[in-house]
Amino acid sequence: MNRTILRTALLLLPVFAARTAEAQVAPTVATDDMKKKVDEKPTDKPQGWSLGLNIGGTVSFNHNSNVVGQDDGATLQIGLVLGASANLLHGQHSWENVLAVQHAQTRTPQLERFVKSLDVIDLQSTYIYRFTGIDWLGPFAKATFQSSLLPGYAIRTEPSVVIRTNLDGTTVTENVAARANIDLTGAFEPLTMRQSVGLFAEPYKSDTVNISGKLGVGAQEIITRDGYVLGDNKDTPEVEVNQLDSTQEAGAEAELGLAGEPVPKVLTWKVVGNVFLPVITSNDAEVDFEDKLNIKISGAVSVKVTDWLSLDYVLTVLRLPLVLNEFQVQNGLILNANFKLL
Reply yes or no on whether the pLDDT at 19 is more than 50: no
Residue 165 lies in a domain: no
Which range, 201-210, 293-302, 324-333, is most confident? Answer: 293-302
Provide φ and ψ at 89, rounded to 5°: -125, 120
- In Å, what is the CA distance from 125 to each residue of 29, 68, 100, 121, 147? 16, 51, 12, 14, 15
**Percent of the chain at pLDDT above 90?**
59
pTM of the model: 0.80
Residue 184 lies in a domain: no
The CATH number for 257's domain is: 2.40.230
Per-residue pLDDT band for 44 (boundaries 50, 70, 90) equals low
Residue 197 lies in a domain: yes
Reply yes or no on whether the pLDDT at 51 is more than 90: yes
Reply yes or no on whether the pLDDT at 221 is more than 90: yes
User: pLDDT value at position 31?
Assistant: 45
Give yes or no for a contact between 155 and 67, defined as CB atoms under 8 angstroms apart.
no
Residue 9 lies in a domain: yes
253-276 confidence digits (pLDDT tens): 999 999 999 998 899 999 999 999
Residue 241 lies in a domain: no
User: pLDDT value at position 61?
Assistant: 83
Residue 170 lies in a domain: no
Strand partners, 95: 88, 127
Lowest mean pLDDT: which of 185-199, 228-242, 266-280?
228-242
Angle CA 87–103–331, to nearest 5: 90
Domain of residue 312 covers 2-144+189-220+248-340
Strand partners, 46: none
Amino acid at 153: Y
Per-residue pLDDT band for 41 (boundaries 50, 70, 90) equals low
Distance CA 284, CA 297 (A): 27
Which range, 12-21, 43-52, 204-213, is most confident? Answer: 204-213
C-beta atoms surrounding 189 within 10 Å: 21
- In Å, what is the CA distance from 170 to each residue of 160, 167, 247? 20, 7, 20
**Percent of the chain at pLDDT above 70?**
87
Q: Maximum distance among all alpha carbons in the chain?
A: 68
Residue 79 lies in a domain: yes
260-267: long-range contacts, CB 8 A cutoff, minimum separation 24: 260/38, 260/208, 260/209, 260/210, 261/37, 261/38, 261/39, 261/207, 261/208, 262/208, 264/207, 265/304, 266/303, 266/304, 267/301, 267/302, 267/303, 267/304
Residue 294 lies in a domain: yes
Question: What's the structural domain count of the chain?
Answer: 1
Q: Across the chain, what does the average pLDDT equal?
A: 85
C-beta atoms surrounding 335 within 10 Å: 20
Query: Distance from CA of residue 147 to its chain's centroid?
Result: 9
